[in-house]
Amino acid sequence: MGRLLTLMFPFKAEFTSLSYSRSGMEANQLLRAELSSTATNALQDVDVANKGLISSIDGLLKLDHDAHGNIDSLIIPCRGELRELRSGHHHETLEITENAEKCLEEEYLVDEPSCSTPRRRVINLPSVKSIEELRAPAFEELLKSFWEAKSDSKQVNGDNIKHFSGAHEFQSQTPRLPLTTIN
């Protein structure tokens, strides 16, 4: 019976294969259209993202240029002042060097060798008495004169002297080095 049908409808096998190929081509065209639209959407999304990124970069670049300008406005005057300071320092250093050379070579002239016996120089040394006069009195004497001066000023004012005399007795009882604290 299958053979009979094939003889009656010889075009059915061709028709079936033709319909399969048509439906496959239509499916391919639908997939191609869908792929094309997806690729177009993806490219548009990438373009939007790129434009946003470029806009952000441009904004940051503008901020960077503004910051650079602000920093330059601070640095340039400082750089000029630094150059002036460096130049002034250099000139002052040269002046100090010249003055030092002048002092050492001319004013404080070192004895030059002269193949003769050097003469004895007369040096005026201060006497022992004048040196002793420069010496400060002992600490105990200074402390005693201080307390006496304080007690004299308190007697003139009419205040109580016991407060100072008690402090004087306390300090004289506790031995300590000069300029050290009690506490």
Q: For residue 143, what are the domain limits?
A: 138-183
- Domain final residue, candidates 107, 125, 151: 107
**Do 22 and 69 share a structural domain?**
yes
Letter for the amino acid at 167? Answer: A
> Which residues lie closer than 8 Å to 136 by C-beta, 6 or more apart?
142
Beta carbons of 173 and 166 less than 8 angstroms apart: no
- The whole-number pLDDT of residue 22 equals 78
How many other C-beta atoms can be found within 10 angstroms of the C-beta atom of residue 154?
16
**Do 92 and 171 share a structural domain?**
no
- Residues of the chain short of pLDDT 50, as ranges, are 1-2, 4-5, 11, 160-170
pLDDT digits (tens, 9 = 90+) for 85-125: 999 999 999 999 998 888 877 766 655 667 777 677 777 88
74 domain-assigned: yes
How many structural domains is the chain composed of? 2
- The whole-number pLDDT of residue 101 equals 85
**Do 74 and 26 share a structural domain?**
yes
Beta carbons of 136 and 142 less than 8 angstroms apart: yes
Mean pLDDT of the chain: 78
**Do 45 and 99 share a structural domain?**
yes
7 domain-assigned: no
181 domain-assigned: yes
**Do 162 and 90 share a structural domain?**
no
Region of 140 on the Ramachandran plot (φ > 0 left; ψ -120 to 50 alpha; else beta): alpha
- The whole-number pLDDT of residue 61 equals 96
C-alpha torsion angle, residues 10, 13, 14, 20 (rounded to 10): 160
Burial class (CB in 10 A: 0-12, 13-18, 19+), 150: middle
Encoded tokens for 86: 């460096």
22 domain-assigned: yes
